[in-house]
Amino acid sequence: MIRSGATAFITTSILVPVIRSLCNRWALFDKSGPLKIHSGAIPRLGGVAIVISIAAGVGFNRPSQATPIWPFFAALVLIWTVGFVDDFREVPPILRLVIQIFGGILLWYGGWRLPLLAYNPINLAGVCLFVVLFANGFNFLDGADGLCAGVTAIIAAGYIILSGLTVSAFGSLVAWSLLGTSVGFLFYNFPLANIFLGDSGSTILGFCVAFLGLDFYRSNMSNLNGVTVFFPLLIATLPLLDAIVVVSRRLRGHRPVLGGDRTHFYDFLLAQGWSSRRVAVTVYAISALMCGIARLALKCDFETALILYLTSVTTLLLLGLRLGTLKQNEKSDAAEMIKAG
């Protein structure tokens, strides 16, 4: 399994400089603008290296198993493709959403289901919502240098070091590949970044984390209880909670759910004068803490695990509210005015 992570890491380390050079040659940049916090033009096709590296890490070390894994790769390619197109020209949000839902349908068809939902249509809808939430949650997280790749690496490590419970052999390969890819990309994306993930990269990382959660449920279906059901949600609390708060705020303001703004929790930290590196390190620390709490919860009874879950989520939510995450900051207001004008 470690070989899978090494393969992904080496592939990323080789590909990123090549892709960055090609972007510089062909002027494929993420230019500065009202919704950007960087200055200058930065290559934004890091998602190409991400998807190739994950596929290489998994494909070159794929174990023989009876369960078909083509639905995972089909969904991976579909979600990456629409993100890649969006990196060049804006794709209608509804189309991106439809493709992500179809990715969820493919995983459900392949046997990756949510627990506790016995009625198939409801289970299918739940899996699609699960995939959409993770894919967009990690896409939202990719608004500051190093956040998305770093959090993904920590979560992947959280699945790798599980004790007692586990993911499948294929899921383990995905986790190792995700870890190697994310760490390799961080060498170029940690503040100050010289290449960005783009939508194709961030949504794929979110999709893979969603897959690990579904694979965790599938691998432990006979051993699932109220405690273990929390794990995939608790380990990814930070990006999921940010996504829920962002969507709630946009719905309240009658704004496009998948539109852009600068009112994520990290934007308010930056607005208070935090450096990009300080924000990244803080987010890594919180993510690692949530992974530790998620593992601790696995060893507790249901009541204790529920208290840990609610306390963690409530604490993060209160900290976010104190930052003003349900408000709109000046930079976002200006961007909306420019867009409207």
Q: Which contacts (CB < 8 Å, 24+ apart) does range 326-330 have?
A: 326/245, 326/248, 326/249, 326/252, 327/263, 328/249, 328/253, 328/261, 328/263, 329/262, 329/263, 329/267, 329/268, 329/271
Residue 336, pLDDT above cutoff 50: no
pLDDT digits (tens, 9 = 90+) for 243-256: 998 888 888 877 77
User: To the nearest whole number, what is the mean pLDDT of the chain?
Assistant: 87
CB atoms within 10 A of CB 298: 16
Q: Alpha-carbon torsion 288, 289, 294, 300, what sign?
A: positive
Task: Compute and round to an integer the Cα radius of gyration of the chain.
Answer: 19
Average pLDDT of 334-338? 33
Mean pLDDT of all residues in 49-69: 84
7 touches 180 (CB < 8 A): yes
**What is the Cα–Cα distance from 280 to 270, expressed in whole angstroms?**
11
- In this predicted structure, the answer to whether residue 55 has a pLDDT above a threshold of 70 is yes
The answer to which of 86-90, 181-185, 188-192 has the lowest mean pLDDT is 86-90
Q: Which long-range contacts (CB under 8 A, 24 or more apart) does 280-284 make?
A: 280/144, 280/145, 280/146, 280/147, 280/150, 280/190, 280/191, 283/147, 283/150, 283/151, 283/238, 284/150, 284/151, 284/154
Domain spans, the chain: 2-340
| pLDDT greater than 60 at residue 338 | no
83-117 burial string, b = 16+ CB within 10 Å, else e?
bbbbbeeebeeeebbebbbbbbbbbbebebbbbee
